[in-house]
Amino acid sequence: MRQKTPVIISACLLGLNTRHDAGSALSFEVVRLLEGRAFIPVCPEQLGGLPTPRPRAELICGSGAGVLKGDCRVMDERGLDVTENFVRGAQEVLRIARLSGAVEAFLKEKSPSCGPTTVVRDGKTVAGEGVTAALLKMEGVAVKGF
């Protein structure tokens, strides 16, 4: 029996080529967890207006919550400030969650958008959360990382 509320999921975890390098991060664990469930694939960076492929981006300080408050920025590897794209993408994912009734999200770890517990800063994996993960958590969506 299919569960009624869908799950928001990072599109790259389903094998879609939405990552910055136009690759995917297919997770068979996620695919198994989604069996029998409705799901909505999203890429916040694409929803925020960034192309694929695109330069790798990182949170410059703090975490996604800091970006949402205006205390931190997201910069790509060329030095371009892409903060507005990341915030816009997070807002679009939240809008999709609200419209669909989704109360759960499976998101890609290490991502400056999606990482629920880890992000990459200065080329190293560190504790923190991406912009979309932070916004979804603030709005009561249960977020699990993969």
Mean pLDDT by 10-residue block, N- to C-terminus, for the chain (146 residues)?
A: 83 97 96 95 98 96 93 96 98 98 98 96 91 98 98
Instruction: Quote the number of domains for the chain.
Output: 1
Counting DSSP H helices and E strands in the chain, the numbers are 5, 8
What does the pLDDT read at residue 1?
A: 52
Domain limits at 67?
A: 3-145
What is the pTM assigned to this prediction? 0.95
What does the pLDDT read at residue 123?
A: 84
3-state secondary structure 68-131: HHCCCCEEECCCCECHHHHHHHHHHHHHHHHHHCCCEEEECCECCCCCCCEEEECCEEEECCCH
